[in-house]
Chain A
Amino acid sequence: MLSAISKKTAEVLGAMLVVSFIVFLVLEANVEDVAVKVLGAYSAPDQRAAWLAENGYNDPFLVRYVRWLWDFVTLDWGQSTLFRVPVTDVLPQRLAATGVLAGATLALMVPIALVLGIVAGMREGSATDRSVSFFSVLTTSIPEFATAVFLSAIFVFWLGWLPGASTMISGFSITELILPVSVLTLYSAGYLARITRASMVEAMRSPYVRTALMKGASTSRIVLHHALRNALIAPVTVVMLQIPWLLSGVIVVEVFFAYKGFGTLLYEAALNSDVFLIEACAMVSVVVVVATQLISDILYRLLNPRLRVAVKPAGATA
């Protein structure tokens, strides 16, 4: 099992290396462009040339890449042209703010989705099952910004219960968190509920559940002792894989509600061609994705008794 995990880790690190190269290639292959973005469109040509020379931009591309990668690893992420401070000064607090948003979403979404999925999957084809399925299709089909508009129309415009923006200017506020978290929860709960349901249905149809039934086990025992143990493996790993997906939703929701998090930071950086900030944001999001993939893989192995032992069945590769 350890060798499988280290193999996965190596694979994931390899992917990250390639991604970092692509990011660098896209954003810094054209040095003139970098100079314009850093010094502004009205800078003089000799000023740019001097800046390029001073910052080692006349070196060969690969040398610059290796140096850039090393700087990234050692947390020397450059200066933000938009905020005029080191990137490392703005990024962590924004990331923390997004962490709060994502954490609240997961804390709400995971229990809701699991319960819905389990209840639906326990009795395949029942009215509950159908309603849950329809709910998940409905919520996952509507884009986040549309959900945000609809919820705002009801709770901000019509009922006037909640604030329409989540700037948190006057400090942390729970009420300002309600709408963004609801939008993200609605959008992501449906998917997890579906996965849980499918997994539960499969478990309930399995021969071992029939064995339990024939032992005289009660419905609650069958669900809690037999089905859930096997049915929860897939959803738990899927939760991890949903985090990167949540990251995309976070950008939209943060922009919509003007929440000062990682999403708006990336968005502002992109709109203002803040090269180093874009690079840092891109790399951080890749680290998040890759870390969740890795954790998901490890969780799957830990939860699945068939993979917990070192022996792999013959023919089972990848």
Chain B
Amino acid sequence: MTHPSVVSVQNLSVRLPRGADRPFAVEDVSLDVRRGEILCVVGESGSGKSVLSAAIMGALPRGLTFGGGSVRFGDRDLTKLRARDLRSIRGNEIAMVFQDPIASLNPAIPVGRQVEEVFEIHTDLKPEERRARALALLESTHLPEPARIHGAYPHQISGGQCQRVVIAMALALEPKLLIADEPTTALDVTTQAQILRLFNELRGGDQHGILFITHDFGVVREVADRVAVMRHGRLVEIGPAADVLDRPSHDYTRTLIASVPSLNPPARSTDLSAPPALKADDLVAFYGPVKALKDVSVSIPKGATLAVVGESGSGKSTLARTIIRLHEPDSGTIAVGGVDYTALKGRDLQARRRLVQMIFQNPFGSLNPRRTVGEVLMRAGVLGGADAATARRRALELLDLVRLPREAFDRRPDAFSGGQRQRISIARALAMNPEIVIADESVSALDVSVQAQVLTLLDDLQKTTGMTMLFITHDLRVAAQIADHIAVMKRGEVVEFGLARDVLRRPKHPYTRELVAAAPGQMRSDADAAAE
């Protein structure tokens, strides 16, 4: 705590353009980043955390303007510097790491040259020195074969490797301040764990301070020395990590932390001896030339929830799309309530489609922007076999059921937030009285507090309607909260299957063990386990 601050934000406000939903993106925020520490700024979408980081870089998005306060960096105020002076600081004294590592690198230039460019801009180093320094930097971020990576284009290396390159680039001139804006959000959990480890290593040096922007309290727990919580552009609270995370002084922080799903599965009372509502055997499916499913078999007792967990490319989404017949399997069978679902064709299939319904991932792409909520729900009811009057009545009931006001009936999707749209999608799926509901990453695009609400809603609906659920997710913590059984997938195969608490507490397969270990926010689950 004795370290001096590298940057000091004082009463900073950033004005939003006229017509926005509030006057300020960032309002009266004051905080310091100190040498040798990682300060995490946490908040949900719209909290202003990313605008804050852009403001510190002096690079406000178009339309936003400084509305008062200052950003003191050494003896300069970054909000008042001219473009030329800002340029000499950027990449040199302050550097930045971004959310989408692959897109952040120029696709037409080998990554090594992009690292060297920092020296080209800010120093007089000779080409061979630049190259040597770049190779050393790539090495220091633990990239394998630095020489090969140096000459590779961004699309030729993985997302995690790209992020290491971006970090190497940021560290090139030993900046005093490193700003990382959601640097692990686009990465798989196991890769995220590695990058977080790298950040923890970086802190050791003492030469710089790190401002780490994230929405994930699990990530905060892994890296933060101090934590600042933001909401609606304002700073809610700031303090040492241990205080904010375990003894939050503010209600909002408390709610947020309580919303973070824990790796510990709650006790569940589902009857797992019921006959299977869904039984898929030896499914094989190709996605392009890739064999995405290799003899996958799953079965879910009626009224139970199976969570399929895996990283990107594991085949979990292909499994969902194959079961619902959006993707044709090459072999294998799917039985839904005793009907051979794979054998159905043409109009027979259309007529039986209602048995299996889906809640999609992207709340902004899963509702036709041109149709009102009422039209969507009524059409689903009619296709499910109801007449128009019944479908209308049922649509209104469903709105109650998913806890949306009845006025929603006449509105189009653009009037709703992401969480509300997911509720509409859930209502649409239920309007058909399905036997099975498949949720494909249905809560992963939502903020934690909304995520928690939707998960609770799904759990309640399952209890009241007795539906069977297949829940696809990349997040073990979410799976822990909702599933009776968990199946872990890797490269098109189910590597582990079992009761949720067995898989999470006593994982058998090494990959499952790796996944469980990589799930961010472990310290808390340890504490919870001790408390139990």
Contact = CB atoms under 8 A, between A and B. Distances in A.
Interface of A: 206-208, 210-218, 221, 225-226, 229-230, 305-306, 309, 313-315, 317
Contact of A317 (B107, B153, B288): B288
Given A207-B98, A211-B166, A217 B288 contact: no
Given A226-B106, A230-B106, A216 B121 contact: yes
Contacts of B289: 314
Contact of A214 (B59, B88, B107, B108): B59
Given A212-B106, A215-B117, A216-B122, A306 B90 contact: no
Contacts of A214: 57, 59, 90-91, 95-96
B98 A211 contact: yes
Contacts of B121: 215-218, 221
Contact of B153 (A207, A216, A305): A305
B389 interface: no
A264 B57 CA distance: 62
Nearest to B156: A309
B155 interface: yes
B107 A208 contact: yes
Contacts of A221: 121
Interface of B: 57, 59, 86-92, 95-96, 98, 100, 103-109, 117-118, 121-122, 153, 155-156, 166, 169, 287-290
5 contacts: A213-B90, A215-B95, A216-B86, A305-B107, A313-B155
Dominant secondary structure of chain B at its interface with chain A: mixed
B155 A305 contact: yes
A222 to B, nearest CB: 10
A38 to B, nearest CB: 55
Contacts of A212: 106, 117
Given A213-B90, A216-B88, A314 B103 contact: no
A214 B96 CA distance: 7
B86, B87, B88, B290: residue with the most chain A Cβ atoms closer than 10 Å = B87
Contact of B104 (A207, A217, A305, A306): A207
B183 to A, nearest CB: 13
Given A216-B121, A229-B109, 10 more contacts: A213-B90, A214-B90, A214-B95, A225-B109, A226-B109, A229-B106, A229-B108, A305-B155, A315-B287, A317-B288
A213 B117 CA distance: 12
Sort A-B residue pairs by CB-CB distance and give the 10 closest, nearest first. Answer: A215-B91, A216-B91, A216-B90, A229-B108, A207-B103, A208-B106, A214-B96, A216-B87, A207-B104, A211-B104
A315 B108 contact: no
B90 A208 contact: no
A211 B104 CA distance: 6
